[in-house]
Each structure stands twice: as structure tokens, then as C-alpha cells.
């Protein structure tokens, strides 16, 4: 008597946690007596490690579910009997084969026939885990936070991924040679944790590889990449005998040139999650692009503005009274990435030069001390006249020494004070702290400016100079009697000039190359002794009338590119005298020269 034929009808794959119905179709060619028909669903999970006598194996049958579909009875001849088995799977990993770890699922039917060979039928199923709602989680990670070490950064649109989709990312490298294109090896690595009586072993499954290329000269910039995930990829899971975790590893370099790598943990979900999850579009910004975004967002939020980057990659600025606060980020190749904070002024006029101290400087050059021991040891200070600079320095230095967030002070001069520190990253909180410290420093400098006197050994009526600054809409910087202002829409820039550290003259310039007509910008005049030289210069009559009235202590008249400049020699004597009224007359005279050369402008026509 032949054994009956058995076929099944069931969903494939099976999903953990969902009710499962399997129809068992039993067809006997002749009338067949049976003791029972049973269905069994058995899971087999485990791993093996090593070989020979040192081989270790861990194995577990789970689940082991059995149902009796039919008791003692008779299967009618030439008739199909339909039986139904119902199960629900819990705590089962997805079926897989990773290295020497596995998980399998088998459905079997046992037809017990008295006094005959039983019918045994086996069917293997794929098991998958229905994903929860996938929450995308962008991530930026780097191999090191040490500012001056070779660094690789990876930004991912999400570390929560779905089998079958594209991994979307960006990559940037720092402090690595970028004279030639640089290859970055990418690998999706399955890490299998083998569990055995509380002891953990680790092994790896088959690696999925990819590659991207950083173009020559592109170190520090964000380079996008995509990596296709196979639809057959086993999702992340953990079960009684082992667990599977995925990593994205990016690696570059060689044995001789140095290697850097970074690993990013991933969580892979079943491919069915793609039906309810939006596609990945863009990875988070990294490298210069990401930091530029941080700077731009900070500037918009805190009322800063974009600044001219100069040597930096990008910068933002803000005015506080007459001072300009500046924050910048600069990538200097293999030297590192730097966060630069600085404060800029039109000019203190002290001839100030502050630099970090060294034993050589202290040994061979005398410097200015402010009687703050820690500061005096750490810095070498020069000024044109120490007595003029010390009151100002003593007021500013104590507050300056408390500004730790700005990093070491690189230099301090009449026009700027610059701090910089090596960084691996710049966050908004770094900008907030640095901006606050710069504001404190600006307030300290602004409030201490009245302590700066006019240069020793020079007679200058401060009230008259202040009145001149007010007339020009500018500010008087007493240290060198400099003023930046405007007269009849023409910029004015004036201040003392020195010979052997002694005040010798006042240099005055009026105008700029962007104002006036083409005729004015093309005009070139050079008169060392204007009052006398203009007569021989074949100049226009209106210009001769203006300049011949100038006194002999006005020298070196130059008109070029729309700017007129001249020098007022200070009257001799001990001490010399800087006459604000004479300077005012010279400013107006230079403005009149520009108007004479360009009759269509100004009130002097």
C-alpha cells in the first residue's frame, strides 16, 4: 500500500508574531487507515566555532510546536483530505546563514500508518521579522576628536536602514595628503556575537564592499556617496544563541602612509519596511560644509553677518561700537583645522606688539610689564611709549586672562587681537561661548580707551582734535591722533607718522577709487612741494589757485586712483605741535583738489 501524497499551502515567508495558517492536503490512492496525522513546526538556531577537539557548538531547537491534525481513522481512496495547522511564532530570529551561525525553520507532517512505513514530509520556510515603524536617525561620526591627528568623518542620512535600499552618506578627510585622488574603502560588516553560557565570542559574516574617491585637493570638503544594500540582507537581531549587528567601516591609507578608519553602527530592518518609510534623500553635512552651515545658522540667529574669509575658509562678523568681532574656521591641510576668534579696531596708535614669551625674547629685548606676574612671564610686550600703553594694558589684561574659551592668544597689535585653537569640530555652543567672550573683551577695550593719552612729548589740544573727529563723523584714536571719517561723501583717513619713534607729520588721505568720474580716477599728480611745484606742472588754473595758497609745511601731494593725499609736517620745537586746525584745513584742501579735478561733484565746484 503506497503512502499518501501530501502537499501544503502556506505563506512564504513566515513573519514572527503574526498568526500562521498552513493547509495540509492529504491524498490517498487507496483507502488508508491511519493512527494519526501530526504537523510540527521546528526552529533550529545555533553556531559552531573551531574544529577538531577544540570545536565548540551551541544549538537550540526553538520553537518546537506540534499539532495533531487527525486522530485514528481512514483516508478515503482517491480523495483529498484538507487539514489545517495553526501556529504563531515568537522569539524567533530571521532565517540566515552567517559564517558558522545559522537559524532555520522547518515544517513537517507525520502520517502514522499501522503496520506500514509512515509518511514523513518536510518543508523549509523563510522567517522574517516584521519591522516596527522605522525612525530615521542621522549621524555624524569621526575617528578621533584630537584636532591635529589625521581624521576621517562620515555623515549618514540615517543609521536605521532597510534591506534593499541605498545607504546615503557623505565623507570628508582631514590632515591627509590630498595632492592625488584618495580612495576610501567602504565595507558593510556583519558582526555575529556567539553566546555560550555567559561567555561571548565574536565572528564576522560575509562583508559587502564599496568604494568612493576623494578628488585631489578636496580634503576637508564633503564628498557624497551611496551604497546599495542587498534585499537578501539579514536584519539586525538578537536571539538565545547569537546576535547580529551591522557596521559601516570606512578606511583609507596604507602601511607606509598611515591608516585611518571609522566604524558606524547600523540597524538593518526587514525589506518590508520600505512600504511605510520615506526614502533617504540627503546625508547630513560634514567637513567644511557642515561647519559653514553651523556658522550661517548662528549668524542668522544672533545677528552676526558673513565676513570676508581672507585666509580662513569662512568667517562671520559683528560690530560693537568701533570694534569688529570676528569668528572664523580655517583648514590648513596637514597642519590641522583651527577655530580663530579675533577683535579688530581702526588702530590704538600705541605701536603695540604682544606675542607669546620666549627665553630668547626676554634675554635680548626689554619689554613692557604690567605687574601681573603670570601675564608678564607668558607674554612679550612692545609699545612705542610704555608709559602711554601701560594704563590701558593694566585695565584690559585682567579681563583678557579670564577668556579661556578663545584659546591661546596668537598676537595683539594696534589693529587686532587674535586667538586660535586647533579643533576637530565647531558646534553652535562653541560659537555662543566665543562670541560672549569676544563681547566681554570688546567692552573691556572700549571702556579702557580713555586711558590712552596722546603721544608723550607732543603738544596736541585734545578738545580741538575731538571737534575735528566730530566734524568728520569719526572717532579720535588718541594714541596716534588717527581719525577715519567722511567729508562731503568722500572718505577721510588721517593720523600721525613717525621717524625714529618720534611724531614727525600727519598723513591725510581723502577719497577712494570708487567715487568720482573716470576722468578723476585717471588723473595722476605728484608734487613733492605742492605750493611751488604746481606752477611748473601744467595744471589747470583752478588747481593752481587752490594749491599755491598752501603753506610750505604741506608736502608730498599725490592724486591717484581717485584719492588725494598729502603730508602735514609738524612744527618744529621741543616739544613738536600737532595743530588740529591745520589738519582740518588740509582735509578741506584735498577735498577741494578732488572737486577741481572732477567739477561735477562736491560743494567746491
Mean predicted confidence (pLDDT) in 396-415: 91
Report pLDDT digits (tens) over 483-501: 999 999 999 999 999 888 8
CA–CA gap between residue 462 and residue 420 (Å, rounded): 37
The per-residue DSSP string of 213-260 comes to EEPTT-TTS-EEEEEEPPTTPPPPEE-SSEEEEEEEEEEEEETTTEEE
Per-residue pLDDT tens over the stretch 419-467: 999 887 888 999 999 999 999 999 999 999 999 999 998 999 999 999 9
Confidence of residue 604 (pLDDT cuts 50, 70, 90): very low
The predicted pLDDT at position 602 comes to: 47
% of the chain residues with pLDDT over 90: 58
Q: How confident is the model at residue 256 (pLDDT cuts 50, 70, 90)?
A: low
Measure the CA–CA gap between 340 and 366, rounded to whole angstroms.
29
pLDDT at 321 over 90: no
Average pLDDT value for residue range 101-124: 94
Domain 462-597 has CATH 3.30.1460: yes
Q: What distance in Å separates the CA atoms of residue 576 and residue 456, rounded to the nearest whole number?
A: 10
526: number of Cβ within 10 Å:
12
Which residues make beta-bridge pairs with 354? 381, 412
Which of the four pLDDT bands, split at 50, 70 and 90, describes residue 284? confident
Report pLDDT for 290: 77
Residue the block writes with cell 581719525: 483
195-213 burial string, b = 16+ CB within 10 Å, else e? beeeeeeebebeebebebe
Mean pLDDT (whole number) for 547-552: 90
For the chain, the domains span: 5-128, 139-284, 290-451, 462-597
C-alpha cell at 221: 570638503
Let me know the angle formed at the C-alpha of 507 by 502 and 511, rounded to the nearest 5 degrees. Answer: 160
The gap from C-alpha 162 to its chain's centroid, in whole angstroms, comes to: 28
- Please choose, from the candidates 145, 28, 16, the residue with its C-alpha nearest in 3D space to the C-alpha of residue 80: 28
Q: Is the pLDDT of residue 171 over 60?
A: yes
Q: Which percentage of the chain shows pLDDT scores above 70?
A: 95
Residue 323 belongs to what H/E stretch? strand 323-331
- Per-residue pLDDT for 272 more than 70? yes
117-120 long-range Cβ contacts below 8 angstroms, 24+ apart: 117/3, 118/3, 119/3, 119/4, 119/6
Q: Is the pLDDT of residue 210 over 60?
A: yes
How many angstroms separate the CA atoms of 385 and 368, rounded?
9
pLDDT band at residue 50 under the 50/70/90 scheme: confident
Intrachain domains 5-128 and 290-451 with the same fold:
no
> Quick one: which of 475, 353, 461 has its CA closest to 414?
353
Determine the average pLDDT of the residues in 311-337: 84
pTM score of the predicted model:
0.64
CATH number 3.65.10.10 is the correct assignment for the domain at 139-284: no
Question: By mean pLDDT, which of 12-21, 249-258, 349-358, 544-553 is the weakest?
Answer: 249-258
Other CB atoms within 10 Å distance of the CB of residue 413: 18
Burial (Cβ within 10 Å: 0-12, 13-18, ≥19) of residue 491: middle
Q: Is the pLDDT of residue 52 over 80?
A: no
Q: In three state form, how does the secondary structure of 332-372 look?
A: CHHHCEEEEEEEECCCCCCCCEEEECCHHHHHHCCCCCCCC
Rounded to whole angstroms, what are the CA distances from 489 to 496, 525, 530, 602? 23, 22, 25, 8
Distance CA 415, CA 397 (A): 16
CATH number for the domain running over 290-451: 3.30.1460
pLDDT top residue among 87 and 197: 87
Q: 39-62 as b/e, with b when 16 or more CB fall inside 10 Å?
A: bbbbbebbbebeeeeeeeebeeeb
Q: Which of 146-150, 183-187, 375-379, 470-474 has the lowest mean pLDDT?
A: 146-150
Q: What is the DSSP letter of 425?
A: -
Is a pLDDT exceeding 70 seen at residue 134? yes
| Residue with cell string 635680548 | 364
Using one digit for the tens of pLDDT, what is the confidence trace for 350-363? Answer: 999 998 887 655 55
Q: What is the mean pLDDT of residues 401-413?
A: 90
CATH 1.10.3720.10 matches 5-128? no
SS3 state of residue 273: helix
What is the pLDDT, as a whole number, of residue 573? Answer: 66
pLDDT at 365 over 70: no
Residue range 88-115: mean pLDDT, rounded: 93
State the average pLDDT for the chain: 88
571-598 residue pLDDT tens:
766 788 999 999 999 999 999 999 888 8
β-strands 160-162, 258-269: how paired? parallel
Asked if pLDDT for residue 69 goes beyond 60, the answer is: yes
Amino acid at each position: 500500500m503506497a503512502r499518501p501524497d501530501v502537499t501544503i499551502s502556506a505563506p512564504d515567508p513566515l513573519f514572527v508574531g503574526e498568526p500562521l495558517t498552513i493547509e495540509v492536503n492529504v491524498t490517498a490512492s487507496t483507502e488508508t487507515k491511519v493512527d494519526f496525522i501530526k504537523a510540527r513546526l521546528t526552529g533550529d538556531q545555533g553556531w559552531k566555532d573551531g574544529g577538531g577537539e577544540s570545536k565548540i557548538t551551541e544549538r537550540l531547537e526553538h520553537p518546537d510546536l506540534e499539532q495533531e491534525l487527525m486522530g485514528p481513522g481512514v483516508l478515503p481512496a482517491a480523495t483529498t483530505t484538507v487539514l489545517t495547522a495553526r501556529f504563531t511564532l515568537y522569539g524567533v530570529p530571521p532565517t540566515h546563514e552567517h559564517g558558522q551561525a545559522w537559524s532555520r525553520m522547518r515544517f513537517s507532517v507525520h502520517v502514522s500508518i499501522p503496520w506500514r512505513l509512515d509518511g514523513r514530509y518536510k518543508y523549509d520556510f523563510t522567517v522574517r521579522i516584521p519591522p516596527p515603524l522605522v525612525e530615521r536617525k542621522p549621524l555624524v561620526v569621526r575617528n578621533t576628536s584630537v584636532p591635529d591627528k589625521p581624521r576621517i568623518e562620515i555623515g549618514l542620512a540615517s543609521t536605521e536602514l532597510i534591506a534593499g535600499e541605498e545607504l546615503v552618506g557623505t565623507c570628508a578627510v582631514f590632515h591627509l595628503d590630498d595632492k592625488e585622488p584618495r580612495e576610501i574603502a567602504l565595507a558593510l560588516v556583519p558582526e555575529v556575537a556567539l553566546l555560550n553560557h555567559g561567555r561571548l565570542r565574536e565572528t564576522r559574516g560575509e562583508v559587502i564592499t564599496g568604494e568612493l574617491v576623494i578628488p585631489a585637493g578636496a580634503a576637508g570638503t564633503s564628498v557624497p556617496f551611496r551604497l546599495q544594500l542587498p534585499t537578501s540582507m539579514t536584519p539586525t537581531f538578537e536571539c538565545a544563541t547569537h546576535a547580529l549587528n551591522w557596521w559601516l567601516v570606512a578606511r583609507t591609507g596604507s602601511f607606509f602612509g598611515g591608516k585611518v578608519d571609522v566604524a558606524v553602527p547600523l540597524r538593518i530592518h526587514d525589506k518590508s519596511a520600505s512600504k511605510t518609510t520615506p526614502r533617504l534623500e540627503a546625508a547630513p553635512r560634514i567637513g567644511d560644509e557642515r561647519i559653514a552651515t553651523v556658522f550661517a545658522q548662528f549668524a542668522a540667529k544672533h545677528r552676526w553677518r558673513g565676513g570676508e574669509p581672507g585666509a580662513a575658509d569662512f568667517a562671520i562678523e559683528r560690530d560693537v561700537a568701533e570694534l569688529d568681532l570676528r569668528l572664523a574656521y580655517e583648514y590648513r591641510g596637514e597642519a590641522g583645522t583651527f577655530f580663530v576668534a579675533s577683535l579688530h579696531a581702526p588702530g590704538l596708535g600705541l605701536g603695540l606688539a604682544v606675542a607669546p614669551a620666549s627665553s630668547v625674547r626676554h634675554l635680548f629685548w626689554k619689554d613692557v610689564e604690567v605687574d601681573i606676574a603670570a601675564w608678564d612671564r607668558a607674554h612679550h610686550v612692545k609699545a612705542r611709549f610704555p608709559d602711554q600703553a601701560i594704563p590701558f594694558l593694566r585695565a584690559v589684561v585682567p579681563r583678557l586672562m579670564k577668556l579661556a574659551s578663545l584659546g591661546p592668544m596668537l598676537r595683539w597689535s594696534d589693529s587686532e587681537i587674535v586667538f586660535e585653537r586647533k579643533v576637530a569640530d565647531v558646534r553652535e555652543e562653541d560659537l555662543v561661548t566665543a562670541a560672549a567672550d569676544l563681547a566681554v573683551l570688546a567692552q573691556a577695550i572700549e571702556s579702557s580707551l580713555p586711558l590712552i593719552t596722546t603721544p608723550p612729548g607732543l603738544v596736541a589740544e585734545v578738545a580741538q582734535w575731538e571737534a575735528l573727529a566730530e566734524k568728520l563723523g569719526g572717532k579720535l584714536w588718541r594714541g596716534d591722533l588717527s581719525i577715519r571719517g567722511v567729508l562731503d561723501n568722500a572718505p577721510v583717513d588721517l593720523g600721525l607718522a613717525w621717524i625714529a619713534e618720534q611724531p614727525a607729520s600727519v598723513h591725510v588721505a581723502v577719497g577712494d577709487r570708487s567715487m568720482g568720474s573716470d576722468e578723476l580716477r585717471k588723473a595722476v599728480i605728484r608734487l613733492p612741494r605742492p605750493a611751488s611745484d604746481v606752477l611748473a606742472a601744467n595744471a589747470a588754473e583752478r588747481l593752481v589757485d587752490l594749491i599755491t595758497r598752501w603753506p610750505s609745511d604741506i608736502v608730498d601731494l599725490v592724486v591717484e586712483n581717485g584719492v588725494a593725499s598729502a603730508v602735514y609736517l609738524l612744527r618744529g620745537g621741543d616739544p613738536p605741535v600737532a595743530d588740529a586746525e591745520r589738519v582740518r584745513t588740509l582735509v578741506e584742501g584735498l577735498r577741494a583738489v578732488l572737486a577741481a579735478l572732477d567739477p561735477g561733484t562736491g560743494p567746491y565746484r
